[in-house]
Amino acid sequence: MASAHVSDPLTALREFVERITPYDPDPAATVGTVGIDHGHESGEFRLTPHLARALVEALASYRDPADRGTCAGCGGRRLDDNLHCQDCGRLHGVLGAVIFERAERISEQAERVQWAAGTDAERPLG
């Protein structure tokens, strides 16, 4: 369930704590605190081992909507909506693979044609 409080981290954390707290097997245990200052409001939350584990798991499972993977060419992480690498220009996905394969074939054909024709330096005189 996505929170409607994208711009309000204090409310989002407060609601997260409220959802997790009823299932805490040892609510008296404390491993630390987490505090947030947001605008004119601030909040501090006592972390139990259960809540800390839930928070770590929630953060670890988050995936940014802009994450489209890694570029197979340069390893960069800046792929746009069309899976075009903003760092090296390589295209990814089905279309990118088709274009890449086609470009390789055209390049290989051009090399064969150049080899078959030879260069001016390789042509015999006379």
**Would you say residue 36 lies in a domain?**
yes
Same domain, 35 and 74: no
The pair of three-digit structure tokens given for residue 46, joined into one six-digit string: 């006592």
**Would you say residue 4 lies in a domain?**
no
Q: Is the pLDDT of residue 51 over 70?
A: yes
**Would you say residue 103 lies in a domain?**
yes
State how far the alpha carbon of 68 is from the alpha carbons of 27, 55, 73, 118, in Å. Answer: 39, 24, 14, 44
Q: What percentage of residues in the chain have a pLDDT greater than 70?
A: 87
Same domain, 47 and 80: no
What per-residue confidence (pLDDT) applies to 125? 54
Task: Kindly state the helix (H) or strand (E) to which residue 34 belongs, with its residue range.
Answer: strand 32-38
Same domain, 96 and 124: yes
Same domain, 33 and 73: no
**Average pLDDT, rounded, for the chain:** 84
What per-residue confidence (pLDDT) applies to 1? 46
Residue predicted with more confidence, 94 or 16: 16
What per-residue confidence (pLDDT) applies to 73? 87
Q: How far apart are CA 92 and CA 70, in angstroms?
A: 10
Same domain, 46 and 73: no
CA angle 123, 125, 126 (to 5 degrees): 130
Q: Is the pLDDT of residue 48 over 90?
A: yes
Q: Is the pLDDT of residue 41 over 90?
A: no
Same domain, 76 and 37: no
The pair of three-digit structure tokens given for residue 53, joined into one six-digit string: 């584990």
Same domain, 53 and 82: no
What per-residue confidence (pLDDT) applies to 59? 94
Q: Which amino acid is at 98?
A: V
Beta bridge partners of 84: 91
Same domain, 35 and 54: yes
Domain tally, the chain: 2
**Would you say residue 2 lies in a domain?**
no
Domain ranges, residue 47: 9-61
Residue predicted with more confidence, 107 or 61: 61
Q: How confident is the model at residue 5 (pLDDT cuts 50, 70, 90)?
A: low
